[in-house]
Structure 1
Amino acid sequence: MPGLSAAAADDAVRLEAIDFLKTNIESILTRGERLTVYADALGQRKNHPVAAVDDYALTLKVDANLYPLRWSDLKTDRLVDIARSVAGDSGERMVVASEIALLLGFPERASEWLGQIREP
């Protein structure tokens, strides 16, 4: 990315990864599938049902309440964790999670996940 500082390039890659993850989650929810993600919400690090996703946040159901996790507040490693959680046992989704991990600088995790795919 000519002309961009390293920080701006990192931000652009992060935004690309978030958009890729968001699009994947939207697709799953649009098909009417239930989705849970392993994430920190209100001090509880566990699987939470996904209520909604948009450009600003991933909204989880936590104890019958809606709890938005703003994309801008999530650390890079948490984005990777969420991508893996969204993948579940689906080979196709595992490929998406691996692509997100690669974009965000976690090649070893991407390699591990690709090795876990049973059916592409």
Structure 2
Amino acid sequence: MAGEPQADCLFCKIVAGEIPATIVRESETTVAFRDINPQAPTHVLVIPKVHHPDAASLVAAEPQIAADMLREAGQVALDEKLAGSGYRIVFNTGAGAGQTVFHAHAHVLGGRGLNWPPG
């Protein structure tokens, strides 16, 4: 069921403390941790503590938690001193867009030039 922890979900296991992660921020509704395969000098994931497969399903079911994620992503950028040089917040949705863990999450990327389009 959406919102409930999923036994086979890597990010649900991080939220539960079953899998270690380098946590940089935690709020009542979110956890932010360093990506284990960084694509920029700063690459932090911000996830909701509740399970939803992607950002669209999260915002449809729990818009306040989606807003919490964006607030926390902005705070990560401030904490990591990215606000002055710029940063990107990315939500990948679906395997074709590069989503590999089907638990909503935002990537906070910065610390290098981030030309558009990416890739």
TM-score, normalization: structure 1? Answer: 0.30
Quick check: which one's helix share is greater?
1
Larger Rg: 1
TM-score, normalization: structure 2? Answer: 0.30
Greater relative contact order, per chain length (Cα 8 Å cut-off, separation 6+): 2
